[in-house]
Amino acid sequence: MTHADIISVIEAYASPTLQESWDNTGWQVTPSGTTDLCTGVMTCLDITPAVVDEARAKGCNLIISHHPLIFRGLRSITGAGNAEQAVISAIRSGIAIYSSHTALDSTQGGVSHELGSRLGLTDMRPLSPSSVSPDAGLGVIGTISGGITRAAFIETVKRAYDAPTVRVTQGPRETGDIHTVALCSGSGGEFITTAITLRADAYITSDVRYHDFLDHGQKIIIIDTGHFESEICTKSIFSRIISQKFPNFAVHMATCEQNPVAYI
């Protein structure tokens, strides 16, 4: 199989047409085009020099990431920063790189749906439906059968996201069972008011601003899990998509990745 064969499966699941206008889903590096035979795939959240080194050591000449390696643009490639070093290393090693960012976030059964499934949500639907497809969109909202207490739900979130700690609103919404939950992987603070309008009892996302807690904490329970924790599951999603289509093909999940944020 070629690189293009592998990526066609990813794009059939998460069409690039679903990406946000500001995003850079797609090919990031193709040292010799996309028709080379693929010797192995490595999946990851972020492209770093260490991930490229691990891919090369495991015989993978294709890396698929969630976060784009080239996002805000590179004005030079001198090896001065991590992104530049990764580009140089990938080209020297003949490793192609593809990223599926908000396309994977928005697709039906995407990142937020994966997290919702881990939480046991049912009847999930998009929190912010896509203009491309009503069944796709950023975030999800769903229900927890029978409801759950605030304390028990927070522990459930920590386990589902493998989060050592979370930031949570405190205030009037500390009592009463949680039945309706909205969430958005990555930085989804912009959808807090949407979750409130849809009468969610709790909203889970990351990178929440202090004033969002202050302004909305009396209306909804806000849980900030951390950005890494909310998206590290993407490498499992990529691996599953490929393995289901090509069960005998070598797919590796990067083991060198670690959260750049420490909790002390």
Q: Which pLDDT tens digit goes with each residue over 125-158?
A: 999 999 999 899 999 999 999 999 999 999 999 9
| Residue 14, phi then psi, degrees to nearest 5 | -130, 90
Q: What pLDDT score was predicted for residue 73?
A: 80
pLDDT at residue 75 in the model: 84
pLDDT at 52: 98
The series of mean pLDDT values per 10 residues for the chain, 264 residues long, is 97 97 96 95 98 98 97 86 95 98 97 98 97 94 95 97 95 76 98 98 97 94 98 98 95 97 92
pTM (two decimals): 0.95
DSSP string for 19-64: S-TT---EEEE-BTBS-SBP--EEEESS--HHHHHHHHHTT--EEE
